[in-house]
Amino acid sequence: MQSTKTFNVRFILRYPPGRSAEALIYARISVNKRRAEFSVNRSVNPKTWDPNRQCVTGSKELVNYINPFLDDVRYKLTECFHQLIRMNSPVSAEAIKRLYIGEDRPLNTLMNLFTYHTETAKELLKPGTFKNYGSTEKYIRLFLKEKYRTDDILLCELNYQFISHFELFLKTTTPLEKSNPLSNNGIMKHMERLRKIVTLGYKMDWIPKDPFLQYKLRFQRFEREFLLESEISLLHQVELKSEKLRKCRDLFLFSCYTGLAYIDLVSLGRDNILRGIDGELWIKTSRKKTDTKVSVPLLPQAIEILDKYKGRPDVEIAGGVLPVISNQKMNIYLKEIAEICKINKTMTFHLARHTFATTVTLNNGIPLETVSKMLGHSKLSTTQIYVHVLERKISEDMRALKAKLSGRKNGAIHFSERSFKG
């Protein structure tokens, strides 16, 4: 890395060919005794030029016009010098000149990296995921403007401090949308997306080191809510006077018995209901979120809901197998239904997916691997977050243990001395 003591900027006069009373002002850059010059597109009468102070003298109008301009050129050239150092680029008088006049603008900046990611990943990412990256970019732009008073930053300037300051900014700033507040996990998702973007730059050698090396994401684990068997029964039995609430209830229960996410359920068509290897009806589709293949044998309760809407004109015309309600309205209606049923849980459509994973399958003895396949998870660890053990299941397991123990002498468990020895 070059020392700043080797860098210098001077302004000199050059006389153009032919007779002229004016001389052109040139900037002379010196780095390690090597020079580069260029015209700053200003000319002055030599008589008004002070070569020692490198500025013009004379009329106030001329001084106020030329001298601030030269100060600005000197400042920008100095910034170009420091920019090359931060980029770990070769520092020379010619390189500074090219950077200043725009012949060698650096591409490895954070916003250029976001632009590159947008152009290359647009066709690969799902619309919702792509939109989320756009939100992260907006927060980054706000952060750069507020914290650094700039629109962009070199990737080589990213460090742990930048990352931690961005996290703090997200914790204290006003959300882009009031309906989407920045919770801890929401902030961590923005940090996760930024890390993926920066890692992309690191892999392409746009950045010399990974600033996220010492940073750890801190997601909070929440106990996922789900409905109990008694609450599912209550949904079946409750009298709902409104047609929209009855449709909403049916769609929710269908998800409880199939595990389909909202987007996959409303996209379900007749060609997705097929006979499986066992001759029974199955759902065969692909998850919109991950494009993972999903195969789910239909339970009688789910078939009953399908039969209810079979032949309905509003469903048939749309080419689906179930009525369609927007996700937003669905969640509003579910809260109404929860209030009617006196279910004291946050009823959202995704709750049905949790219910399928826990109450309907895992707690009825379906193996975790099988549930993972039906949910369309690519990793078993993703399914493990749905593992809940109900008190009823604990009671059954303990009852089985009691039965075993009751057959032994005095109900006692005896250990041999050998089991306590090393």
- 343 and 260 within one domain: yes
- 52 and 120 within one domain: no
Condensed to tens digits (0 to 9), the pLDDT of residues 169-224 reads: 999 999 998 767 899 999 999 999 999 999 998 888 788 788 999 999 998 877 77
pLDDT band for position 100 (50/70/90)?
confident
- 237 and 199 within one domain: no
pLDDT band for position 106 (50/70/90)?
low
- Residue 416 placed within a domain: no
- 318 and 343 within one domain: yes
- 131 and 97 within one domain: no
Domain count across the chain: 3
- Residue 17 placed within a domain: yes
* Residues contacting 284, CB < 8 A, separation 6+: 272, 274, 276, 293, 294, 295
Label residue 50 left, alpha or beta by phi (over 0 means left) and psi (-120 to 50 means alpha). beta
- Residue 409 placed within a domain: no
**DSSP summary character for residue 419:** G
- 382 and 244 within one domain: yes
Q: Which two tokens stand for residue 372?
A: 């993972």
CA distance 318 to 306: 15
Q: Report which of residues 135 and 181 the model is more confident about.
A: 135
Among residues 101, 126, 151, the one where a domain terminates is: 101
- 382 and 259 within one domain: yes
- 182 and 245 within one domain: no
Q: Residue range 16-36: average pLDDT? A: 85
Amino acid at 341: C
- Residue 410 placed within a domain: no
Q: Please check the confidence at residue 21 and state whether its pLDDT lies above 80.
A: no
- H/E stretch holding 75 reads helix 60-86
What domain range includes position 19?
Answer: 4-101
CA distance 244 to 333: 8
Residue listed under structure tokens 């060698």: 104
- 358 and 277 within one domain: yes
* Most confident listed range (84-88, 95-99, 193-197, 409-413): 193-197
* CATH number reported for the structural domain that contains residue 267 in this entry: 1.10.443.10
Q: From edge to edge, which strands make up the β-sheet containing 293-297?
A: 273-275, 281-286, 293-297
* The pLDDT value given to residue 416: 46
CA distance 56 to 248: 79
DSSP for 78-145, written as a single string: HHHHHHHHHTTPPP-HHHHHHHHHTSS----BHHHHHHHHHHHHTTTS-HHHHHHHHHHHHHHHHHII
Q: Please check the confidence at residue 415 and state whether its pLDDT lies above 70.
A: no
- Residue 406 placed within a domain: no
* The pLDDT value given to residue 320: 85
- Residue 422 placed within a domain: no
Condensed to tens digits (0 to 9), the pLDDT of residues 346-361 reads: 899 999 999 999 999 9
- 142 and 93 within one domain: no
CA distance 366 to 368: 7
Among residues 45, 72, 101, the one where a domain terminates is: 101
Condensed to tens digits (0 to 9), the pLDDT of residues 373-407 reads: 999 888 887 788 777 666 667 777 788 888 888 77
**In angstroms, what is the C-alpha Rg of the chain?**
34
Which pTM does this prediction carry?
Answer: 0.60
Among residues 156, 185, 203, the one where a domain terminates is: 203
- 118 and 74 within one domain: no
- 246 and 145 within one domain: no
- Residue 46 placed within a domain: yes
- Residue 419 placed within a domain: no
pLDDT band for position 108 (50/70/90)?
confident
